[in-house]
Amino acid sequence: MQVHTYKDADEVCNALADWMAALMDKTLQAKEKFVLALSGGETPKKLYKILAASPYNEKIKWDRVHFFWGDERVVPFDDERNNAKMAFDNLLDKVKIPSGNIHRIWTDVEPAVAAAQYEKILHQYFDDKQTTFDLVLLGLGEDGHTLSLFPGSEVLPGKTGWVNAVHSAEKGERITLMPDVVNRSASVAFLVTGESKSAIVEKLFSDQHIGEFPAQLVKPVNNELHWFLDKTASSGLNPEKID
Ligand code: 6PG
């Protein structure tokens, strides 16, 4: 695991964009496709805007990048809360990506149907492979959730299956990747910024809260777990834990 910290959200998103571009370039020297799972919420918007602009809009071989999402809110695609809409608005509508490379989670059918359909595509991509995604981008909630794996969720500890429909009293109907398919990825990167996340980041890294939070279920089998944090989100971390 590697922890990368930067001065502020701008700096961390620029550094993550650079890191992603280098990872894509290296991966695409050996493979035809780069299979990426995007995260939702507010934090990655800045990252997506950076990737959609120069130099990344020309530098990255977008036609060889295949897009999935880590989770989705079960709301219409044109709803501002929809994670796919956010990614299209800030990135996917701004760079040349073949439509067949983009796999949105359906939100206009029964959640269980959408989850099964999404899992079927994942199996088409990964069943004959050693690893699953080349990169999964993740965010972190103040309660220690990631993806749509909320504390106390009925689908945890999530030892089986790759995709589930979940109901959260607070967050509504969601569809989410499960730990197993994420932990078989080549790389996983959390992007966490802001003072409001400093307390949960400190708990996740402390020895006092082992196994307490869903985000701790993210343990890539090859240990390629990266935390991209700004100074405020990492303010509670012991400097020895930071690269
Ligand atoms: C979602 C995300 C979720 C998000 C965290 C952090 O659909 O909301 O997948 O896991 O990453 O809640 O969200 P913010 O970046 O908005 O704080």
Residues of the chain with pLDDT under 50: none
What confidence score (pLDDT) does residue 84 get?
Answer: 98
* Euclidean distance between CA atoms 73 and 143, whole angstroms: 18
Tens of pLDDT, residue by residue over 191-202, are 999 999 999 999
HEC string of 57-118?
HHHCCHHHEEEEECEEECCCCCCCCCHHHHHHHHHHCCCCCCHHHECCCCCCCCHHHHHHHH
Distance 29 CA to ligand 1 centre (A): 32
Mutating to test ligand 1, I would choose from 12, 13, 16, 39 the residue with most ligand atoms within 8 A of its C-beta, which is: 39
What residue's CA is closest to ligand 1, atom 7? Answer: 40
- Residue 70 CA: nearest ligand 1 atom is 9
Backbone angles phi, psi at 45, to 5 degrees: -55, -45
Distance 43 CA to ligand 1 centre (A): 7
Tens of pLDDT, residue by residue over 63-83, are 999 999 999 999 999 999 999
* Euclidean distance between CA atoms 133 and 151, whole angstroms: 24
* CB contact set of 34 (below 8 Å; sequence gap of 6+): 24, 27, 28, 61, 64, 65, 66, 134, 135
What residue's CA is closest to ligand 1, atom 3? Answer: 147
What confidence score (pLDDT) does residue 243 get?
Answer: 62
What residue's CA is closest to ligand 1, atom 13? Answer: 41
What confidence score (pLDDT) does residue 170 get?
Answer: 87
What confidence score (pLDDT) does residue 238 get?
Answer: 81
